[in-house]
Every structure is written in structure tokens, then in C-alpha cells.
Chains A and B, each alone.
Chain A
Amino acid sequence: MAAIIELKGIFVKLGGRSVLEDVNFTVESGDFFGLIGPNGGGKTTLIKVILGLIRPEQGDVLVEGESPQSKRHILGYVPQYRTYDFTYPLTVKEMVLSGRLGLIRGPFRKFREQDQRKAEEVMVLMGIENLAARPIGELSGGQQQRAIISRALVSEPHALLLDEPTTHVDPRMEEEFYDTLESLRKRMAILLVSHDLTAISMHVNKIACLNRRLYTHGTKEVSEDMLSALYHCPVDLLAHGIPHRVLRTHEEKS
């Protein structure tokens, strides 16, 4: 398995406060990596380190063996929902297309025919092709979320980084959302950041808990790995989530 993302001994300080300490981990192709942790535990910072948006004080970040700045076009990024101004005059199609900008070279970036085709393909995959001409401000929260994911997918990434993607998704739609991720997994590695353990525990094959330090045993045994990771996490993590998911996990185990 080829390592797509590799972090070695990462230390990050923001405004004099230590946010990440000695973080080491690897995302390989085919991985569905779940990263849980309390709010303020450094999850978003870690994603930004991978994307080369935050420079670590110490340690190495490798994206397919190179620096994030030179290789980040192979990463698809789904930022936290609340960072957007949805009153911006932009249609769904325009938003999705903008994800192709990283693949276009030259001083003046114009969208080519293959960019248009890829955007339409991804919108069909995410079930928003009928919304292509609608302004993003007129969509529901779930539809907006699918548009943001489409923008990340349109660049045909080797790994998809999702930061708290289900915050504004209707609980009924959540199941469907995870099914979509499962189907994407055949094509790309997925790194899913969440504070909701139960929701992701059914789907991931690796799990780690980030609370300034990263707690993981690196095995693919979800249950044991999860428990040892959780041991280092605040208890309130367990209070989140939807009960029937936990039950289903147990059934599969027995």
C-alpha cells in the first residue's frame, strides 16, 4: 500500500499555544481513516498542516512523498461548513467547476471541455445535477454540503479530507452520506474528521483520537483500536451519536 499522506513528528504552535505535539500517522490508499477528538483538540489544524496551509514548527509532512505545496492538487478538501458565505452570487455548477482550478496551468485559467465534463459527472454522482444552475444560497444545508463535496471530488483526488462533514446534514441523510463515502472509497483514500465517534465507527478501517497528541495503535482492528484510542479521550465523546448504530456494530461482532 502506497502512503498518500505521511506525518512525522509534527509539532504546531498557534499564538504561543501548543496545538499539536509529536503527531505521527500515515494514510494509505484504500484507507478510510477516522479521526476523532474533542473540540479544540487540533483536528482542523492537523488537516491544514496536511494541506500546507499551516507550517509545523517541527516535523515532516509528505503528500505522496513530496511537500504539500507541490502535491496538494491530489487532495480533495471539504472544509467545515460554517466557513462559507452562501450569499455569494455563485451557482452550484460554478462552485463545483472552481475545484478544477488547481489542475489548470498557465497565467490565465480558463475552464476546458474536460473540466465541464468532469463537473457534470461529479454532480450526477452526488445527485445534484438538477441543481447545477441554482445559486448556492437557495439550497438546503444537505444540498450545499453535497456541492462542497462535489468541488473536492471534481479534481479527481487521491485522498479526500473531510472536516466535520455531517454537522449540517439532516440525521436521516447521514446514513446516505456515509454510503456515498463508502462508494468513493474504492477510488480514493478518505480521512474523516469528526467529534462523533459512533457515526464513523461503522465505516472506518483505521481510527485515531487527537487531543493535542494522537492516540492510535495503527492496527485495523476497529474495536480494540477504538477502545485504546478512546482511553485517552474525554468521556463526553461517548455521549454523542445515534444508538442504533452502536447496536448494529455489536450484532455484527457476535
Chain B
Amino acid sequence: MIPLLEFEFFRNALIAGILASVACGIMGTYVVVRKMSYISGGISHAAFGGIGLGYFLGFDPILGAILFSLSSAMGIGYIGMRGSRSIDTLIGALWASGMALGVLLIAWTPGYAPDLFSYLFGNILLVPFQDLILMGALILLIVGSILLWYNEFQAISFDDEYATICNLPVQILQLYLLSLVALTVVMLIRVVGVILVIALLTIPGAISRLFTSHLYTMMLGAIVIGALCTLAGMAASYTINAPSGATIILIAALAYGGAIGIDRIRSGSQGKVR
């Protein structure tokens, strides 16, 4: 792989992989502890509608993805706070209709949509340099927010009722956290695509959770695990000439299986399932 480093596209891909791991390690931790993977799936598939809109109206599809993912995150967050019992159904509807809208808009767009497949399944080798700058900016936003509001985010994600009693601005914090998840999802679309986003967002966090007892150690662990899976996935996809996004996800899934096995053996007779 070393000679590949001479190519700019490959260096970009490596940097994109690391940056994506940082973002999904931090935000994925909240997704895992708050059990938001279904919400994240809804957001990422809704984003595909925005990608379609970008093609149809002729602007950058990623802007469309940002627009759709942010507004669907706000919508889900707002309806969820009002305690709607059908929130699950609503997310399912959003999930499928976002995809349907994307497919329709792309079909109506004159000409050929060349990298549609890469939006669905990602292609880390196609990440352009200006996307790296956007990713870097997003990571600054995420890390800065976590440094400022770590205690608040921990409180609302562990026990939002108690956080309300402590007079924290729980609803604003929840919507803000969801927005950061939405932006992370858009960023990950470049790497693993709309359909595979949930896996990269949840698996590193889920592995890390098995071996940590603080939220911040879970984040750090998830970043390292995510980076290892991404790099290993890239190396494997190069070696066996397979699509990068799918390879990264399968390696992450294998690692998760292994981690659960190790955790089972370790906790052994205690029989704890976490």
C-alpha cells in the first residue's frame, strides 16, 4: 500500500478515513448509549432525497443532503419530545420516502448520474480535497461542542428527566446533539454511503462500550476502533479489488462479533450481557 501514498486521491482517502473515524467515534457513542441507531438510519436515508434534489436542481448534492438530514433530525427530535407514540412508524416512513424521493428526482434529471452508486455505498477513493476541509470544520465543531457541554450531554443522555429537574435546557441540547449526528451522517455518506452509514456510526461505539466505563473513554476507544476498521477495510478492498465501503463495514462487523465473543469469555461465569 505504501507506494499508493504518492497518489493524491489515496492520501485524501486516508485522511478522510481518519476524520470520519473521529466524527463517528464521538457522535456514534451518543447514538449507541441513547439507542438512536434507528433515528440515524432514518436521517441518512432521508438525506438521499436531498442528494436527488441537488442533482435535479443542479446544485451540489452534498448541500441537499445536509438540508434534508438536518431538517429530518429536527422533525424527528421535535416529534419525539412531544412524546408521540408513533415516532417509530414516522421514522420508518421518513426512511423509505427519502429514498423514494431521491430515486424519482434522479430519474427525472436529464442525462446520466455518474456517481449515484457512490452515494449509496460510498467510495472513499473519490473524496475531493474540498470535502476534507468541510470534514475538518465539522470535527472542530463536534470536538468544541463536546468540550464545552460534556457534562450536559452526559446528563441528558443518561437521564433526561433528572436533567430537566436540574433545569438544563434539555430540548435545545437534544436537538443540537441530533443536528451534530445529522451532519456526521452526511460526512459519512462520502465514505460508506447512505445505506451503510448506520454501521460505521454504531459498531465502533458498541465495541468500545464493552471495554470502557466512562463516556469519554468510550469515545476515544470508538475513534481508534473506527480508524483501524477503516484502514483495514481500505487495505483489504485494495488487495481483493472489492468496493471500499462494503469492505470497511464487513470488517467492522467481524470485529464486533469478535469483541462480543471476548466479552462473553471475559465476564464468563458472571453471565453478564451488556
Interface residues of A (CB under 8 A from B): 51-53, 69, 72-73, 75, 77, 79, 83-85, 87-91, 94-95, 98-99, 101-102, 107-111, 134-135, 137, 151
Given A90-B215, A109-B151, A109-B152, residue A101 in contact with residue B166 (CB < 8 A): yes
Q: Which of A79, A108, A151 contacts B149 (CB 8 A)?
A: A108
CB contacts (< 8 Å) of A89 on chain B: these are 33, 209, 212-215, 217-218
CB contacts (< 8 Å) of B215 on chain A: these are 89-90
Q: Interface segment, B2-10, B153-161, B230-238?
A: B153-161
Q: Which of A91, A98, A107, A108 contacts B155 (CB 8 A)?
A: A98
CB contacts (< 8 Å) of A95 on chain B: these are 158
Interface residues of B (CB under 8 A from A): 33, 148-149, 151-152, 154-155, 157-159, 161-168, 209, 212-215, 217-218, 272, 274
B167 touches A72 (CB 8 A): yes
CB contacts (< 8 Å) of A111 on chain B: these are 151
Chain A residue nearest to B152 in the complex (CB): A109
B82 to chain A, nearest CB (A): 13
Give the CA-CA distance A88 to B151 in the complex, in Å: 14
Give the CA-CA distance A51 to B164 in the complex, in Å: 9
A137 touches B165 (CB 8 A): no
A98 touches B214 (CB 8 A): no
Give the CA-CA distance A177 to B213 in the complex, in Å: 27
Q: Which of B33, B165, B209, B274 contacts A51 (CB 8 A)?
A: B165
Give the CA-CA distance A102 to B165 in the complex, in Å: 7
Chain B residue nearest to A151 in the complex (CB): B162
CB contacts (< 8 Å) of A91 on chain B: these are 213-214
CB contacts (< 8 Å) of B217 on chain A: these are 89
B171 to chain A, nearest CB (A): 13
CB contacts (< 8 Å) of B149 on chain A: these are 108
